[in-house]
Structure 1
């Protein structure tokens, strides 16, 4: 196989238990072997679970909107066209200040890699 293509408009937006933003599972559709891409859609005021990864380094690309991003003890604003890389062991959380969409690409492509701060177990966020 040389390449795969999918339009975000063709992917259903999914609700994940205990996670506020909705997910468009780009990776599930494309099945890449080395990375796990997903688009998260936040309503204003929504947050994802504060979590870290076991193995995955994550690239966050803000597609549109405005969010507060917390990485470890630092909080900063991210907006469209901002790119952020977070190492696996760093705790992170996004909170939307307005409706927002964020492309998140984790690598390597491992299942159930996220650890939720509240219960320190894998979250649904990375199991899709």
Structure 2
């Protein structure tokens, strides 16, 4: 279940607001965000959403999923790797990114992210690694 305070913090981040990205759901090991496409959304070929925007959605959704599983002794360190395979153009007024934590080790978490258009079609798939480390005394 999504924490209301986390949702408010997420939705009010200036970068998310600029892109039109909001949080749909966060639960342990899972995160879902949506992009509300408008005239300011960077476009790709044929009116689709630009691939760079989709890659950004992969990164943001990955963070939502991994942060849902970080413990009090885990200190976030950042994205270690992000790969994306584009399967079709993403069209529509709403685009979703659904991230699933596949495996969490001692320092890396592996997360898969699907980009889905408003008609439920898989448009891209991201594979990501997120790094974290044990929190040190005094931090």
Task: Report the TM-score range of the alignment, normalised by the length of the smaller protein.
Answer: 0.3 to 0.5
Higher relative contact order, structure no. (Cα contacts within 8 Å, ≥ 6 residues apart): 1
Structure in which a larger fraction of residues adopt helix: 2
Q: TM-score, normalised by structure 1?
A: 0.33
Q: TM-score, normalised by structure 2?
A: 0.31
